Chains A and B, each alone.
Chain A
């Protein structure tokens, strides 16, 4: 098929250039799929800097790392579906700048992609400390990273994990499952307090201490090579040796290609509640949208812009943006969804909603427990460990504006019901 794109004029009035999506992770892929589901018949071009076929990222630190899933299992979008949906998938193509006047995305290769509408889904990359380039030090963000880390998880070896957020804990869990001696390190005494509050953060810190060697409350000041392994220097002066160092200390956004454009970057691509990118005056930039990790949408319920790095929210945003592209007048406001899950140490941790509220009630039933967060009596957030049904009930209660007390009663009833059903109970 002839490539007609180059012959199309990149004129601002050209409505025929179609949608260009920069980034083919879940936010980009789901936007492309949703555009077709919404009946969009124009050209869709999706670019990604990576040359691997688009894949889902949550499994990278979960069952892909443990080997329970293969690359095929986590593929998001392949050539077959691209062909079927008539989506021009361009892999290994890195966007380097945006020429908004000419409505064109300029790529490293020199290729130029004119657009009628642009969807920014360029995501984020792992933050790397200065010593991250040492042999044996890894961050985890891509399929290639996961494969490289998996190679290092040799039984009997040692690994130091820097950062005890969800990714760090999942790395520690996968390492231990592989017979590797892991140490989980975080500068905070209660690493998850920032996102789950002090009480639940402390519960999980205790739980992690019971599962894996931990160094909480001490930072890593340096990592250096030493006799074929790595020497990790802690902020209290102690040192530990590890064959491998894994780093999970957050992300940096892939926004460099937008720096010279009028798009306002403030902790992400600033957007209105429908995903339309804003300029420095707070006005929507015509026909430019952003979705996923790179975007920071206005959240009507919070009265503020928030950036949500979660899979479910990216999927929801992609639907909103697809509708806004197809029907610019009918753009709906999106209320961000904070639904996160983490598989670690044989347990499933799930959280939804606003989990920083200090008013929290915890119901424990053996190996499963729930933390219910309230604001003025209303349930606003939930964390469950090994209790998916309660997580689901709580999510619905949050969505419908129900009270926390009702959920506490339900949790207690489920606990008693389970006790009665147990042998000898």
Chain B
């Protein structure tokens, strides 16, 4: 089990994360990431980590819960 966190001061609204995993990430009207959920079960971890890595400003982290 892991959790995903977002650093809103880094987020620039590129939305690569939303394209990669739209069940975890959305962006609001101001262009900031919205976490739709934060718990990352082991079988989802690879996919959510890939979405986090797709962020051009490294605003997302997946860490052990």
Interface of A with B (CB < 8 Å)? 30, 33, 37, 56, 58, 311-312, 315, 319, 339, 341, 348, 350, 387-389, 391-392, 395-396, 399, 414, 418
Contact = CB atoms under 8 A, between A and B. Distances in A.
A396 B22 contact: yes
B5 interface: no
A312 B54 contact: yes
A85 B12 CA distance: 28
A311 B15 contact: no
A73 B28 CA distance: 25
A392 B27 contact: yes
B16 A389 contact: no
B61 interface: no
Contact of B15 (A319, A391, A414): A391
Interface string B3-18: 0000000001111101
Contact of B54 (A315, A388, A389, A395): A315
Given A348-B31, A389-B27, A58 B56 contact: yes
B14 A395 contact: no
B29 A350 contact: no
A388 B19 contact: no
The size class of the interface chain B forms with chain A is: 10 to 19
A278 B57 CA distance: 33
Contact of A418 (B14, B29, B56): B29
A87 to B, nearest CB: 16
A312 B56 contact: yes
A348 B12 contact: yes
A48 B56 CA distance: 21
A395 B25 CA distance: 14
B16 A388 contact: no
11 contacts: A30-B53, A33-B53, A37-B49, A312-B54, A388-B15, A388-B31, A389-B13, A389-B27, A392-B18, A395-B15, A414-B29
B36 interface: no
B59 to A, nearest CB: 12
A341 B55 CA distance: 13
Contacts of B18: 392, 396
A388 B56 contact: no
B20 to A, nearest CB: 10
The 10 A-B residue pairs whose C-beta atoms are closest, nearest first, are: A388-B31, A388-B13, A392-B15, A392-B18, A389-B27, A389-B29, A395-B19, A392-B27, A388-B27, A311-B56
A56 B56 CA distance: 9
Nearest to B15: A392
Contacts of A339: 14, 16
Contacts of A399: 19
B52 to A, nearest CB: 12
A79 B40 CA distance: 29
Contacts of B54: 312, 315
A107 to B, nearest CB: 29
Contacts of A319: 50
Interface in B13-52: 13-16, 18-19, 22, 27-29, 31, 46, 49-50
A315 B14 contact: no
Contacts of A389: 13, 15, 27-29, 31
Nearest to B49: A37
B6 to A, nearest CB: 14
Contacts of B46: 37
Nearest to B54: A315
A339 B29 CA distance: 19
Contact of A315 (B12, B13, B53): B53
A312 B56 CA distance: 8
A392 B28 contact: no
Given A37-B46, A396-B18, 14 more contacts: A56-B56, A311-B56, A341-B12, A341-B14, A348-B12, A348-B13, A387-B31, A388-B27, A389-B13, A389-B29, A389-B31, A392-B15, A396-B22, A414-B29
